[in-house]
Amino acid sequence: MPTPQIVWLRRDLRLADQPAFAAAAAAGPVIPVYVLDDAGAGSRQLGGASRWWLHHSLAALEVQLQKQGMRLILRRGKAAEELVRLADETGAGAIHAIRHYEPWWKNAEEELSGQLELCLQDGNYLLPPGSVRTGAGKLYRIYTPFARAAMQMLPQRDPIEAPPLTSPQNWPQSDRLTDWHLLPSKPDWAAGFAAEWTAGEDAAHAQLDAFVQHVASYDDQRNLPAIDGTSRLSPHLHWGEISPTQVWKALEGRDGTGVQTYRSELLWRDFAQNVICQFRDYDHESYRDRFKQFPWRQIEQDSAAAADLRAWQEGRTGYPIVDAGMRQLWQIGWMHNRVRMITASFLIKHLLIDWTIGERWFWDTLVDADFGNNSVNWQWVAGTGVDTSLFTRIMAPLSQSDKFDAGEYIRQWVPELADLPDEQIHDPDGKCRPSAYPDRRIPHREARERALAAYRTMREKA
């Protein structure tokens, strides 16, 4: 009997187009394992919404494996230590895994490679992070030239089929998924998630199939939060239930601006990895040094700032589009991209609260919370990043709302405003404001002037 091969799963919870499974299956019987490594992740332990998704995704993968007489082994502890222990117990010849670029996963890979045969594959991105380079051989820091160069290199390969898997003679011991308590219980704040999402590889493909039917209108509709105009594949892509190569392939044979724009958006995902490969601390350090001098309001010392933060988190800022977005996030663990930009800008510029605090809130509440995508986008909105919008370009929530929502999005998520007519829904100030809806935390003009003054202070200091 050939020696068993371990497949170490992380954010790659699928069987098809999963090169680690393919390589392991070609070498012998396969032991798929997921290690819940809270200690290794340090301050980046999975947030609550991510845990909810992970539970359902692992359950779905286990069902798929069981159909082939296979199991999914679950272990909890430091990833490298658990894998070494598992290899000892099973006599496994090698560990197969898809490369990950989050700092804690890179640490775990380094720790393992000194001890066991670790076979790493690319597979979670359209192009291997680090492979798109400038003429001078450097990594890109600006999205547009990165995307132009990447487009020339795509598609690089076709998706690979799910391999037939052989089970080992003896299965090692496994934790029970329910014993990990990944789902919230008291209170069960995720009730709305289940109505919105189905995790797992089959569900990811069903979502892709449905989206491909209306990809032609993506370019026109992707900025309208009331419409299902985007693919909603982000949690499936983040958890690796589907690969971007499979998504790219599904669009082949379809032309038009919808497909082109969609492909460019997918490339932002690759770009974000390319950024975190260069800057490991991108989630908590502004790339632009001078922002270290920025006079953010301090929530530990300033109770008004702390109250503003809570109002933002709970969707009670008095700005309907901001509140709609924050409540959508809380209720279904996801927010439309346009509204992510508006709410992030509001926290940073209207409330003058450090972008890293918002990034943390999203990390805890998004089902697609992603180290690369989240930090790159927060720094982009803040104006602190490598490729970035200007800090002084302050999004006006009322005109954004008026431009991108006919009122339906606000009515869906802010029911106190549902009866207001279209002309008042974006700006329910004065007499038309229902008593159940909060006052504005700060008037727009005052917030704008305060933000610009803070920016000037930073420039004087820097």
Q: Residues in the site for ligand FAD, rule: CB under 6 A?
A: 222, 230-234, 237-238, 265-266, 268-269, 272, 337, 340-341, 344, 362, 366, 368-370, 373-374, 377-378, 381
Minimum distance of ligand FAD from residue 208's CB (angstroms): 10
Reduced DSSP (H G I as helix, E B as strand, rest coil) percent helix, strand, coil of the chain, to 5: 50, 5, 40
Q: Which token pair is 137?
A: 């051989």
DSSP string, 194-249: HHH---SHHHHHHHHHHHHHTGGGHHHHTT-TTS--S---HHHHHTTSS-HHHHHH
Closer to ligand FAD by CB, 18 or 243: give it.
243
Minimum distance of ligand FAD from residue 269's CB (angstroms): 4
Rounded to whole angstroms, how far apart are CA atoms 188 and 25? 39
Minimum distance of ligand FAD from residue 187's CB (angstroms): 24
Minimum distance of ligand FAD from residue 296's CB (angstroms): 17
Closer to ligand FAD by CB, 18 or 379: give it.
379
Minimum distance of ligand FAD from residue 22's CB (angstroms): 23
Closer to ligand FAD by CB, 222 or 411: give it.
222
Closer to ligand FAD by CB, 56 or 269: give it.
269
Q: How far is CA 73 from the centre of its chain?
A: 25
Closer to ligand FAD by CB, 72 or 272: give it.
272
* Buried/exposed 419-448: b ≥16 CB within 10 Å, e otherwise: ebeeebbbbbeeeebeeebbebbbebeebb
Closer to ligand FAD by CB, 55 or 263: give it.
263
Closer to ligand FAD by CB, 243 or 373: give it.
373
Closer to ligand FAD by CB, 8 or 355: give it.
355
Q: Which token pair is 353?
A: 């609260």
Closer to ligand FAD by CB, 45 or 337: give it.
337
Minimum distance of ligand FAD from residue 452's CB (angstroms): 21
**How many other CB atoms sit within 10 Å of the CB of residue 308?**
22
DSSP at 290: G
Rounded to whole angstroms, how far apart are CA atoms 280 and 291? 18
Closer to ligand FAD by CB, 27 or 250: give it.
250
DSSP at 433: S
CA dihedral 56, 58, 62, 65 (to 10 degrees): 120
Indicate the residue type of 296: W
Closer to ligand FAD by CB, 150 or 381: give it.
381
Rounded to whole angstroms, how far apart are CA atoms 335 and 339? 7
Minimum distance of ligand FAD from residue 261's CB (angstroms): 9
Helix 79-90 crosses helix 103-113 at what angle (to 10 degrees)?
40
Rounded to whole angstroms, how far apart are CA atoms 88 and 81? 11
DSSP at 363: H
Closer to ligand FAD by CB, 6 or 344: give it.
344
76 DSSP β-pair partners: 36
Q: Nearest CA to 147 among 262, 233, 224?
A: 262
Q: Residues 104-107: contacts with CB within 8 Å, 24+ apart?
A: 104/37, 104/40, 104/41, 104/42, 104/44, 105/10, 107/40
Q: Nearest CA to 10 among 454, 371, 437, 265?
A: 371
Q: Which token pair is 78?
A: 């430091």
> Where on the phi/psi map is residue 437: left (φ > 0), alpha (ψ -120 to 50), or beta?
beta
